[in-house]
Amino acid sequence: MISKVHSTMPSVSVIVSTLNDGDKLQMTIESFINQDYENKELLVIDGLSTDSTTEICKKYQNVISVYVSEKDSGIYDAWNKGLKLAKGRFVGIVDSSNKLYPDAMKILSNYIKKDQSLDFVCGAVKKDGRLYAGFNPKKITIKFNIIPSSVVGFYIKKSSLKKVGYLNLKYNIQADYDLLYRMIVKHNLKGIHSSGDEVFGDLGESGFSKKHNFWKTLSNEIIIRNDNGQNKLVLLYIIIGRSLRKFFNILFRL
């Protein structure tokens, strides 16, 4: 819970969005509890689950600072609710199939204290046994996948998020990438990535946007880029380049 007693430690808010995922939610909450860090708060945003979620949240009511259980318009709506209610100096998303590693917040805090001007931190994460790390902002104009993940390892300063604006619910998928584009291209926010051995946690079954097919994902990306005023020639380059790569990948698999 956010506390003035630990004012030397940057306050961190963790938002857990969930819907009928009670069997995994307890693991996520326990990973929050196991953080070797004091100045933190946990917000659980539930889309009105009908499974064991309510009972689990009651079990951890002394740990959960904010609990919301109501119908929403999807995962990005849930994230926005949590981001707006969070009181921490830095905020991040950890979905109900994710697991934080014990030193995650300590690592995050070290980066924040080292550079007070930082707007966001990208921590290394694991998924399916593989390590994902790094940050390549110069590639944002041709690819969205420039950070390891939007959940578990990504934390942004709340005041910086307010300047950029929250997730745009117009986009059913990749709204987090739209936010990232605005952060880097339109607002020139300052970010840093952790080293490869500073892993924030495991993504588990995360990957909402990856559940959609190639053409829907590409179409949505072009819409987002166009809405943000990106050069039309660059958009054409992306469409042709990605489509050709997809065609040749299919061709060589035959």
pLDDT mean by block of 10 residues, the chain; 254 residues = 68 97 96 96 98 97 98 97 98 96 97 97 96 96 96 98 98 97 98 96 74 90 98 97 91 73
Residue 47 is predicted with a pLDDT of: 97
pLDDT in tens, 141-196: 999 999 999 999 999 999 999 999 999 999 999 999 999 999 999 999 999 999 99
24-43 residues labelled b (16+ CB within 10 A) or e (exposed): bbbebbebbeebebebbbbb
Q: What is the DSSP string of 85-133?
A: H--SSEEEE--TT-EE-TTHHHHHHHHHHH-TT--EEE-EEEETTEEE-
Residue 249 is predicted with a pLDDT of: 87
Order the strands of the 130-132 sheet from edge to edge: 99-100, 199-202, 124-127, 130-132
Yes or no: say if 111 and 155 are a contact pair by the CB < 8 Å rule: no
Residue 184 is predicted with a pLDDT of: 98
Would the pTM count as exceeding 0.85?
A: yes
Residue 6 is predicted with a pLDDT of: 54
Residue 1 is predicted with a pLDDT of: 65
Residue 4 is predicted with a pLDDT of: 52
